[in-house]
Structure 1
């Protein structure tokens, strides 16, 4: 009988220990599951934050690329930064010459530049004096200034320069193209010694192709003449004295 009671006690003790073990394991597993769920939620929140940051960075990169492309476009199409346009210059004085009143000044940003100007009246020039072609008919970027007769190419490149000068009766003189202080071309105009027939006027034209740097000073000047000064003829009824230039490439 005692053995049976002892066995029963041991049996009940085993059942108690087993029940306690099962309860403890169940509670421990539930705690681990809660911890795992919290970890998963934190990882999900961090992933959402990373997605948001990546979207912000993509927006910043797109903005930087757009700004870089815009700056590159302005630089290329441009190349006109620092170039003085006709609108930025002081208003030119009106010419007293009434034969031609049309002026064409545009600010088109093209790939080539050109100007054309002529003298409105006769004038006597001393040696090495710059000839001012005071009436400008074409100048798409303000390359030429009729107030001082100087052309300044806006960009470096190969340019064509041509000028026509006329000498009245019994006059002879030479004119030259000067680029940055150096003679780049010269031509002599020699009229008739006698005027038995015709007008006695001989115009001469020169053409020069030259590599020019941006901002170079290019102008036509009297090289040598007859007497104290040489009279340059420019009259709509006879002949015009002109100066033109354009970019080849």
Structure 2
């Protein structure tokens, strides 16, 4: 097993896959503000140790061309069992302070949920952070459940 340390400029394989647990989806929905970083608190893979569940950010352990995908799901309820309204969120994929991708997730009707997925390929320098943030006031709540739909954020290095 190769130990990978940040700043080593490794040409190693890098990939991560993360999602939001239901408890985190509920708490983040209740306190979400414009520009807030969305924290995907569970990882299924974190090769290269670039993704942090505590910050919600991926920090590139080496420079290269990366692919990133995020799926964002919304529920028209603001709380489990609560009144049904509309679910609507906007999210941005950020590289440092620059927007590199945008999603709009909208139930369009009451009594519904919806998911959207974005995919971006970009060059990322070693040490640069990539993350997902909320980009405007929202309605409803983040939908992410083990046995239903998951809100996810993943990425992998394609080449140097």
TM-score under structure 2 length normalisation: 0.81
Q: Which residue of 2 aligns with 1:165?
A: 72
Partner SS, residue 145 of structure 1: coil
Displacement of 1:167 after TM fit? 1.0
How many residues get paired?
A: 142
Structure 1's unaligned 5+ residue stretches are 1-76, 85-108
Which of 115, 118, 123 matches 1:203? Answer: 115
2:13–2:157 CA contact under 8 A, matched in 1: yes
Question: Among 185, 205, 208, which residue is 2:101 paired with?
Answer: 185
Question: Hey, which of these two has a bigger chunk of strand by percent?
Answer: 2
Partner in structure 2 of residue 141 of structure 1:
48
Please list, as runs of the form range in 1=range in 2, the aligned pairs for 1:1-249 lying within 5 A after superposition: 80=4, 82-83=6-7, 111-121=12-22, 122=25, 123-124=28-29, 125-169=32-76, 170-195=86-111, 200-226=112-138, 231-249=141-159
Which string of whole-angstrom CA distances, capped at 9 and with x for unpartnered residues, describes residues 6-32 of structure 1? xxxxxxxxxxxxxxxxxxxxxxxxxxx
Distance 2:11 2:65 in 1: 16
Q: In structure 2, do the counterparts of structure 1 residues 188 and 217 end up closer, same or farther at CA, with 3 Å as the change threshold?
A: same
The 2-side partners of 1:156 and 1:110 are apart by 8
Q: Which has the higher helix share?
A: 1
- Give the 3-state SS of the residue equivalent to 1:244 in structure 2: strand
RMSD between superposed Cα atoms in Å: 2.1
Q: Please state whether the residue corresponding to 2:135 is helix, strand or coil.
A: strand
Bigger RCO (CA 8 Å, 6+ sep)? 2
1:238 Cα offset (Å): 2.0
Query: Which protein has the larger Cα radius of gyration, Structure 1 or Structure 2?
Result: 1
Unaligned runs of 5+ in 2: 77-85
Does the 8 A contact of 2:13 with 2:48 survive in 1? Answer: no
Question: Structure 1 length as normaliser, TM-score?
Answer: 0.53
Q: Give the CA deviation at 1:110.
A: 7.2
